[in-house]
């Protein structure tokens, strides 16, 4: 069985380290917050201007002035802080955020990522995604291994307009975990989801894969 969305989020949570400041994208990445190990201090940043995102509020504590970047109502912690959009992106672009976990439509072996537009369909906009991939120290992508049509989403080169060039460090899919060596343009298969095989991953990937040396 390949990993479920929640299992992918749990795997992504293993990229967290104590003391990290982290920005989570919309979709599966948001689920990562449910898997932060007990006792580990991780501070979540929301690009609309908050550091220290708390859990969803109780029904009678919902506050329209308190939302995350996905426009969901949230709560604050005893250590939260608020700031303007310019300050928020100074944090992001200034390299102060340790890790971002994002979804993607395509990634490539050279570390390129495309996740903001499909030409010919409606342009929604990139929001903060271009800033995050350019400015955050480590970029982890969590996505389905292939598209709904079964086409590879991990490619030699992206076909969609880029969000960032040469920025992705690691990709976690329903089939496994791959490290991106941007210099050599090689993907290294680090882990396999249960019930999948190296052959299956290679078949469903549009780029060259090497196997991690088992030490």
Partner 1 sequence: MTEKIFATPGAALEGLLFDGMTIMSGGFGLSGNPESLIPEIRQAGVSGLTVISNNAGADGFGLWMLLESRQIRKMISSYVGENKLFEQQYLSGELELELNPQGTLAERIRAGGAGIPAFYTKTGVGTVVAEGKPVETFDGEAYVRETWLRADLSIVKAWRADPAGNLVFRKTARNFNPNMATAGKVTVAEVEEIVPAGTLDPDGIHTPGIYVDRVVRSTINEKRIEKRTTRAREGAAV
Binding segment (CB under 8 A) for partner 1, from list 4-12, 49-57, 148-156, 180-188: 49-57
Q: What are phi and psi of 33, to 5 degrees?
A: -60, -25
Strands 76-82 and 138-142, bridge-based pairing:
unpaired
9, 12, 24, 92: residue in contact with partner 1 (rule CB under 8 A): 92
Catalytic-labelled residue, pool 7, 15, 47, 191: 47
106, 131, 169, 174: residue in contact with partner 1 (rule CB under 8 A): 131
Q: What distance in Å separates the CA atoms of residue 31 and residue 18, rounded to the nearest whole number?
A: 18
Q: What are phi and psi of 60, to 5 degrees?
A: -85, 5
Are 15 and 23 in contact, with CB atoms under 8 Å apart? no
Give the nearer residue to partner 1 in terms of CB position, either 29 or 176. 29
Active site residue 47: yes
Q: How many residues bind partner 1 (CB under 8 A)?
A: 53
Binding segment (CB under 8 A) for partner 1, from list 16-24, 62-70, 148-156, 171-179: 62-70
Are 28 and 9 in contact, with CB atoms under 8 Å apart? yes
Helix H or strand E segment including 199 = helix 198-203
Applying CB under 8 A, the residues found at the interface with partner 1 are 46-50, 55-59, 62-74, 76, 82-86, 88-90, 92-93, 112, 122-131, 134-135, 161-166
């Amino acid at each position: 069985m390949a990993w479920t969305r929640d299992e992918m989020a749990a795997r992504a949570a293993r990229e967290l380290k104590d003391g990290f400041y982290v920005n989570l994208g919309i979709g599966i990445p948001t689920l990562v917050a449910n898997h932060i190990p007990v006792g580990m201090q991780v501070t979540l940043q929301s690009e609309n201007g908050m550091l220290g995102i708390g859990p969803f509020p109780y029904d009678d504590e919902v506050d329209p002035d308190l939302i995350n970047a996905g426009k969901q109502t949230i709560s604050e912690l005893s250590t939260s802080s608020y700031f303007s959009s310019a300050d928020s992106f100074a944090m992001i672009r200034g390299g102060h955020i340790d890790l971002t976990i994002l979804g993607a439509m395509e990634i490539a072996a050279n570390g390129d990522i495309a996740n903001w537009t499909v030409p010919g369909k409606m342009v929604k906009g990139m929001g903060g995604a271009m800033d995050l991939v350019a400015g955050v120290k480590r970029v982890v992508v969590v996505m389905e291994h292939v598209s709904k049509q079964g086409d590879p989403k991990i490619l030699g080169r992206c076909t969609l307009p880029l969000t960032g060039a040469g920025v992705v460090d690691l990709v976690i899919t329903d089939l496994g975990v791959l490290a991106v060596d941007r210099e050599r343009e090689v993907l290294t298969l680090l882990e396999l989801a249960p019930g999948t095989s190296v052959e299956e991953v290679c078949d469903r990937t549009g780029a060259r894969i090497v196997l991690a040396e088992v030490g």
